[in-house]
Structure 1
């Protein structure tokens, strides 16, 4: 008989947080967005204020020079359905914090830009 894995409340919290983040991004992907995003979006998450780039232009401008060529190549080669995912991935590169916090920040910024409710952060 295999011993069950010990329960780790921190791990359970992380799993629930990731599930909520995934649900938030799925909602954003389902809802058509008619608002223009003019420049980085200012959000407060976990008591900290961030300026989050959400457009191709803003993400590119925020990247270090040495990453811009790779960014340009990926965006240029991406099919239409992948551009949003690529922008998200590259935006996460320039947002400070640990992985889960960076995703919370990006999610909050996208929700705010779309005029939707916000993630619990």
Structure 2
């Protein structure tokens, strides 16, 4: 059956797949150092995605940097990655689900898990 229920189920499935992919990334060892934003192509568009504290902060509009600084500086270590993701999503254009796809792809590329476009 097509319609609102099918669309909602597709969105839920997409969110679950995104969550599972981020969880897998979090289980991977991180022996790499990022030297700047990661360039990716997702859904036929090119993006430059900040993934470090320094790059995310630089990409934020000036009016959000104090809130970013406060949140990052007060975070326990286990929260740092989640906060960087949260704030990185603020600078990626597009709708919410597409921004998550872009962030996920950038992290996969940074982790060496492939460079093909999503």
In structure 1, list runs of 5 or more residues that go unmatched: 1-5
Rounded Cα–Cα distance in structure 2 between residues aligned with 1:9 and 1:71: 37
Rounded Cα–Cα distance in structure 2 between residues aligned with 1:120 and 1:109: 10
What is the TM-score with the length of structure 1 in the denominator? 0.90
The answer as to 2:93 corresponding to 1:96 is yes
Residue correspondence of structure 1 range 37-56 to structure 2 within 5 A = 37-56=34-53
Rounded Cα–Cα distance in structure 1 between residues aligned with 2:12 and 2:70: 33
Checking the alignment, whether the CA contact within 8 Å between 1:60 and 1:68 is kept in structure 2 is: yes
In structure 2, list runs of 5 or more residues that go unmatched: none
> Residues 79 and 15 of structure 1: is their aligned pair in 2 closer, same or farther, counting only changes over 3 Å?
same
CA radius of gyration, larger in: 1
> RMSD across aligned C-alpha pairs, in angstroms?
1.8
Checking the alignment, whether the CA contact within 8 Å between 2:52 and 2:84 is kept in structure 1 is: yes
What is the TM-score with the length of structure 2 in the denominator? 0.92
